[in-house]
Structure 1
């Protein structure tokens, strides 16, 4: 288990408060910094984990990648103001060990951080709500039926590209960067995809595509 912790947060009050809570729970606070850039010149011994707080939802995955690029062996736990399913997926894809919504009380928070320090992946309770509101119906389709479903949806080549990115859990900002278009254009594509697939949100669209055999790396030329 990792006993030492480093906190990265732009909010000084958060750094002070969280640091005191963690120290009272037996963790060793080896650093408290206002920005990831402040970590660049630091040399820590192995055996610590990093708590990342106060980063905008769309920027969280990139922040995780930056930290892992500097401290590859250090687990990174993201503290977020609000739960975002796609941001969570991309954070874990980027190497995060945990994704925790800050609204939880101190004891559950420290318990979650302790689990992350032990090498467990920590998911937010909000994830249960996402699945509770999904209508999951086991569907067995032949390859021909799946192809017919995809063709019947009449998605444009660009909409298929966006759908594949949704399957990968990318945010609109990341998709726009990958496809070299503006974010507003991606929002239009997502809205059209949801309408054509007759689904209510991005998660349902990704499930629809996965059940028809589409791959999150299947991009049009």
Structure 2
């Protein structure tokens, strides 16, 4: 499995990137502002990685279940789980193959959905995993030219068109689909905006 881990060589230094931390904090702050979180909630962090987004959401919920296909990233998550202000659980699994019976009050995600090929199927799956009244809060790149990543291995989408993504969410059954701009990631060759899409089951 380790050989298929696209993030194995990045996991140790992932949190050292100040832009990455700043982006995760901006997304976390916007989720807290736009979603009514409470200390009874069981929330999945989809594509949790080392837990950057989870860290900023943890004080507001009861439990975060970190789901990721990268064992090396989850190892970093587990190494600092005592720093999170809530209960945590780790599940090493590809979200597209996730079929466990557990249900969630919400799903959060940062910069993950461009790594998942079938976006409509993903949104339908997330809808089915949520309790009634549950939410999604998914952050990712607005449409870009493919230059955001230096290596596009494992990247299925060069960002997303917000209107198209809203259509997919509505078709999956979600209501109150809304978008906000969470942050801008500046690179030497350009600026890339990151949106937060929220919706309710």
Compute the TM-score of the two structures, normalised by the length of structure 2: 0.40
- Structure showing the higher strand proportion among its residues: 2
Compute the TM-score of the two structures, normalised by the length of structure 1: 0.37
Structure possessing the higher radius of gyration over alpha carbons: 1
